[in-house]
Amino acid sequence: MSPTLRNALLALGITALIFGTGFWASNAVNDLRLNEIRDIEQQIGIDTLSLETQFDLLARLSCNDIAENSVLSSELNKLADRLNYTEERLGSNNAEVISLKRQYSLLEIKDYLLMQQVAEKCNLKPVFVLYFYSNAGDCSGCESAGHVLTYLRQTYPQLRVYSFDYHLDLGALETLKTLNKIDGPLPAFVINSKAHYGLTDLQSIEGILPLDKLATTTKQKN
């Protein structure tokens, strides 16, 4: 065998080895990623079933029991964190992400309606924030507004924030938007049945909150 042919075969073998190694590594990474996403989806499914069961149980509790148990806010927040992670991994247009967001949005609406009933029944005065955002490139301030609401939710634990993807194809969400007459630019907020639009910074968003109610509740808890 001539040196030229031997070198050519050697180069071909090295190229094939590199290509094969890269292909194997890519498949291994994809398999790990898929397994991770499946684990997240399974956990979200369990969380969803748990929350639905808790809704039924909480509807039967007395006012004293409900006052002692913060109704599902922490559970919904944990589920939201898992969904955000999944969306970051797969993208907002992924079919699985959209399906999970529909489930989560339905749970939010159900919790919102339950808390309204609880507030009326037990003479409570929670502060609700309905927040409508978009990942479709038509809301440059939505990311900033989302961070502000996360901070406010942590600062005022009694503040109940419900976040909805404005463009999500979901009948219940369309009804919620219609009932609250959401027709302005995003981000949009509904507080005490009044809509506000385009707010993105802490000062402006905190300015539309009934801080007197939040402060009173905080003092009572302390």
Q: CA nearest 152: which of 209, 112, 109? A: 209
Query: Which residue ranges form the domains of the chain, and what is each CATH number?
Result: 1-124 (no CATH), 126-222 (3.40.30.10)
pTM above 0.85, yes or no: no
Query: What is the reported pLDDT for 124?
Result: 77
Query: Taking residues 89-104, what's their average pLDDT?
Result: 81
Question: What pLDDT digit, counting tens, does each position of 123-154 carry?
Answer: 777 789 999 999 888 999 999 999 999 899 88
Judged by average pLDDT, the poorest of 58-62, 101-105, 181-185 is 58-62
For residues 29 and 38, the model is more confident at: 38
Contact 84, 44 (CB under 8 A): no
Instruction: Please state, in angstroms and rounded to a whole number, the distance separating the CA atoms of residues 100 and 200.
Output: 26
Sign of CA dihedral 212, 115, 150, 141: negative
The band of 219, judged by pLDDT with boundaries at 50, 70 and 90, is very low
For a pLDDT cut of 90, what percent of the chain falls above it?
Answer: 26
DSSP string, the chain: --HHHHHHHHHHHHHHHHHHHHHHHHHHHHHHHHHHHHHHHHHHHHHHHHHHHHHHHHTTS-HHHHHHS--SHHHHHHHHHHHHHHHHHH-TT-HHHHHHHHHHHHHHHHHHHHHHHHHHHHT---EEEEEEE-SSSS-TTHHHHHHHHHHHHHH-TTEEEEEEETT---HHHHHHHHHTT--SSSSEEEETTEEEES--SHHHHHHTS-HHHHHHHHHHH-
Would you place residue 31 in the very low, low, confident or very high pLDDT band (cuts 50, 70, 90)? low
The reported pLDDT for the residue numbered 172 is: 94
Mean pLDDT of the chain: 77
pLDDT in tens, 55-80: 677 666 667 665 444 555 666 777 77
CB 47 within 8 A of CB 75: yes
Phi-psi map region of 129: left, alpha, beta (phi>0 left; psi -120 to 50 alpha): beta
